[in-house]
Amino acid sequence: MTTTRTVLTIAALTLREASRRRVLFALVALTVGLLGLSSWGFSRLAAESLTSGEARLTASILLNLVMFGYSLVAALGTAFLAGPTLSGETESGIALSMLARPIRRSAFLLGKWLGLVAFGSGFVVLAGLAQVLVVRVTVDYWPPAPATALALLAAQTVVLLTLTVLLATVISPMASGVVAVGLFCTTWVAGVVGAIGEALGNDAVGRVGSVSRVLLPTDGLWRGAMNAFQDPSAIVQFGGADEGAGAFPFLSTAPLTATYLGWAVLWVVMVWALAAMSFVRRDL
């Protein structure tokens, strides 16, 4: 069996295993609940006496708020799925029986990672698309770049999942999930603090957000997704990018640059390489 076929086989098995875990039912339940609640909220918004511009602006901001909820649900799901999927098989001896065959550990890890990426990013894209359609039906708002926004949400999931895989090679499954979600939330808070610092003209506080987005690109990708979801007039309505609009946690003042997207890709490659090195050296 070639390495490529081995990787794809392990990825397919991982995807099948993930679809059978209880975490999938939890994700579906949370998604359905969030869709139902947001549908009711957006329908109430449509019943208000708002001008078309006011309704579009309000829907735009609320959509970013709801999408952050999906982002958090995806973070919880992938973080607590990736750790047990990898560590559980190594601790139970299943991985050892598979690796006894002529299968390289790096190929085994890559297959696991690809399967989890397909699962996590697929969930985020489908849930996000359903939410966008709900907003379109209830308040007739369609984001300016929904495909870009959903792709960036999926990329955010890939970043967090890769970090969780690295952590799962060195610590317990539960600890890897807790640490990954903790870092995800910490980076988001640091991003908000940094945006407030930039709005106040405090360079030292403003660098908090910039540094955190480099160390863990989840918040940077989330801000790019928000910019693609929000109405283009939102920043102007909140006073402009130079007048503090960026301090609002559910507004993004600018799209992502190609340089930052390149860094996010490089970050994933480097962290995955660290995970592979750690897994290869691990005593099974």
Helix, strand, coil content of the chain in percent (nearest 5): 85, 0, 15
Helix (H, G, I), strand (E, B) or coil at 70: helix
- Domain holding 79, by residue range, is 3-281
How many domains does the structure of the chain reveal? 1
Mean pLDDT of the chain: 84
Q: Is the pLDDT of residue 228 over 90?
A: yes
Helix (H, G, I), strand (E, B) or coil at 155: helix
pLDDT band for 265, please (50, 70, 90 cuts). very high
Distance CA 5, CA 76 (A): 30
Q: Which pLDDT value is given to residue 224? A: 93
What are the distances in angstroms from CA 101 to CA 1, 12, 51, 282, 284? 11, 18, 66, 17, 14
Q: Is the pLDDT of residue 100 over 70?
A: no
Mean pLDDT score, 93-105: 66
Distance CA 16, CA 170 (A): 25
Q: Write out the H or E segment, with its range, that includes residue 218.
A: helix 218-229
pLDDT digits (tens, 9 = 90+) for 184-226: 989 999 988 888 888 788 888 888 888 999 999 999 999 999 9
Tokens coding 215: 């160390």
Give the closest residue to 33 by CA, choosing from 177, 153, 131, 155: 131
Report the length, in residues, of the chain: 284
